[in-house]
């Protein structure tokens, strides 16, 4: 098989620029920060939560360009949650959420984007604090309106808190937003069931009022 070689007039310049970038990363400690973050993630996956928490705490103090304090603290909150330290996790997530409200998601933050206030709301629901959770979901919706998880979380929290009016409002928005979705997703089934029950209750109340 023949081998084709193409000349590249800018390769020398590219190699020089790439080498300078790598040198700057190494000298600034960014590579070390990334390596420590990878080790922390490995420890977290292996269940070595104390080691993971220590590394994430160190990274938060470093607050490097590649692994920001916000990113490290967010992972640390997840570790606290796994350790059963719910209050510490809430405090950490609330601080990270306050920063995200102002700055937005850091461009190099790993993973799919889920607003931190949504994560905080979910944790508060798990802790049996639906009223607090509803506040966090509603705050997230003001910045990221229309997100399925935000609307469903706010509706679920309102329902558990006994705020049927609020729950109905958010479930109705979800129903309208997903009107063309014909799947059997558990959340969508619950939306339909709740709104159906509310409609039946309203009809029963109307009939009773007419009889009176």
DSSP string, the chain: --------TTHHHHHHHHHHHHHHHHHHTHHHHHHHHHHHHHHHHTT-HHHHHHHHHHHHHH--SSS-HHHHHHHHHHHHHHTT-HHHHHHHHHHHHHHHHHH-S-TT--SS---HHHHHHHHHHHTT-HHHHHHHHHHHHHHSTT-HHHHHHHHHHHHHTT-HHHHHHHHHHHHHHTTT-----HHHHHHHHHHHHHHHHHHHHHHHHHH-
* Structural domain boundaries in the chain: 36-105, 130-203
- The mean pLDDT value for 22-31 works out to 58
pLDDT class for 70, splitting at 50, 70, 90? Answer: confident
Residue 138, pLDDT score: 97
The answer to whether 36-105 and 130-203 have equal CATH topology is yes
Q: Does domain 130-203 have CATH number 1.10.287?
A: no
126-159 residue pLDDT tens: 999 999 999 999 999 999 999 999 999 999 999 9
Average per-residue pLDDT for the chain: 83
pTM of the entire structure?
0.72
Q: Does domain 36-105 have CATH number 1.25.40?
A: yes
């Amino acid at each position: 098989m023949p081998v084709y070689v193409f000349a590249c007039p800018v390769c020398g310049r590219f190699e020089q620029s790439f080498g300078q970038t790598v040198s700057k990363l190494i000298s600034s400690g960014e590579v070390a920060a990334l390596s420590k973050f990878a080790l922390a993630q490995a420890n977290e996956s292996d269940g070595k939560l104390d080691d993971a928490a220590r590394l994430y705490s160190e990274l938060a103090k470093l607050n490097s360009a590649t692994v920001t304090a916000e990113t490290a603290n967010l992972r640390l909150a997840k570790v606290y949650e796994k350790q059963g330290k719910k209050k510490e996790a809430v405090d950490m997530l609330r601080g990270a959420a306050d920063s995200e409200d102002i700055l937005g998601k850091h461009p190099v933050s790993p993973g799919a984007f889920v607003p931190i206030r949504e994560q905080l709301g979910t944790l508060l629901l798990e802790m049996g604090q639906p009223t607090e959770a509803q506040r966090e979901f509603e705050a997230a919706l003001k910045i990221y309106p229309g997100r399925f998880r935000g609307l469903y979380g706010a509706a679920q929290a309102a329902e558990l808190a006994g705020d049927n009016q609020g729950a109905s409002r958010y479930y109705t928005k979800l129903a309208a937003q997903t009107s063309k979705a014909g799947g059997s997703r558990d959340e969508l089934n619950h939306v339909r069931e709740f709104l159906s029950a509310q409609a039946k209750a309203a009809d029963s109340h109307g009939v009773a009022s007419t009889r009176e």
